[in-house]
Structure 1
């Protein structure tokens, strides 16, 4: 498994995903807060590309802003985008594209695997698209933050998108035939 964008092994980037800031940093983050008794409660704020970038930076990740103004980067070789969608950029979508590719002949098997995944899990939504001569696999986690998001909600959504998509991509990679190996239903090169 390749290191996560920003250095470090897969274990370190996963640890940063699951706990992006130490508990003390969460309580003293300097964001707008109100209190419930003596417990500070952070007020949700509108999503922005800057907030998404700040969350990734706190985790030590490198990323860039693409030509469309979206945050993007790679984790374990897979491309991810952090998109703000909706009329008021109130929906955060973490979209990943598997670095591998599958032949178009595998379409039925891939659709069945995606359907099984979607039926058995809440996140991520997975699907395939024809790209070039093969099939590309995508995974998406989308959350509507119409009333804004706290730093913790933002961090959890980013973590959920990266972790669950990476789990799907890892599962697919372990089941996919090597690029030079024909699929079981394909005739071998000698039989053509």
Structure 2
């Protein structure tokens, strides 16, 4: 999934004229916005990703083996996080092996940073997370590009894990059992 920055709508913000100021001078700094859930929903629509609002009020884009949440946290919604919850369960005995793998991912990539969560029943699941502070504002272009990149990276981690753990056959069997469509799951 890649996004052409010129295809992303302006979301109602004035756009600088092409080529900057007369004489070729730059048009100045980009406008600063304080992003909100509506902006993220518009971005997900532009990216053609199915999404819903969950019980806690967070935007969620479901894929077949994981879900990506777009959340604003803090007293003034100043923290924006993109968090992926991966459905694949690992037994507690494999946690050391899984930690070695996600350490490799975390060393070699910028995002999402991935960690384990061990449930009370001993099942280990993975969570990927990226965050930025947006309370004082951020450039629209930066926010859109970063959010799109974080989403793409969450998808990329799932693909990386499938390859690294040799789970391709399992994924293909799962695909044969469903409608075989790529992208976000239709169950949303």
- 1:91 aligns to 2:71 (yes or no): no
Per-residue deviation at 1:45?
1.4
The residue aligned with 1:22 is 7
- 1:100 aligns to 2:88 (yes or no): yes
Q: TM-score, normalised by structure 1?
A: 0.72
| Deviation sequence 1:51-101 (CA, Å, 0-9, x none) | 111111122222111111110121353211001123321221110012312
| RMSD, matched Cα | 2.6
- 1:155 aligns to 2:144 (yes or no): yes
Which of residues 35, 38, 43 is equivalent to 1:47? 35
Residues matched between the structures, number: 161
- SS of 2:57's partner is coil
Per-residue deviation at 1:168?
1.6
Per-residue deviation at 1:147?
2.2
Are residues 40 and 59 of structure 1, via their aligned partners in 2, closer, same or farther at CA, if it must alter by over 3 Å?
farther
Are residues 20 and 69 of structure 1, via their aligned partners in 2, closer, same or farther at CA, if it must alter by over 3 Å?
farther
- 1:119 aligns to 2:79 (yes or no): no
Are residues 42 and 31 of structure 1, via their aligned partners in 2, closer, same or farther at CA, if it must alter by over 3 Å?
farther
Counterpart contact for 2:71–2:80, Cα < 8 Å: yes
Per-residue deviation at 1:42?
4.0
Which of residues 135, 140, 162 is equivalent to 1:146? 135
Between the aligned partners of 1:60 and 1:150, the Cα distance in structure 2 is 22
| Structure 1 segments unaligned to the other structure (5+ residues) | 1-13, 182-192
- 1:174 aligns to 2:156 (yes or no): no
The residue aligned with 1:165 is 154
Counterpart contact for 2:68–2:154, Cα < 8 Å: no
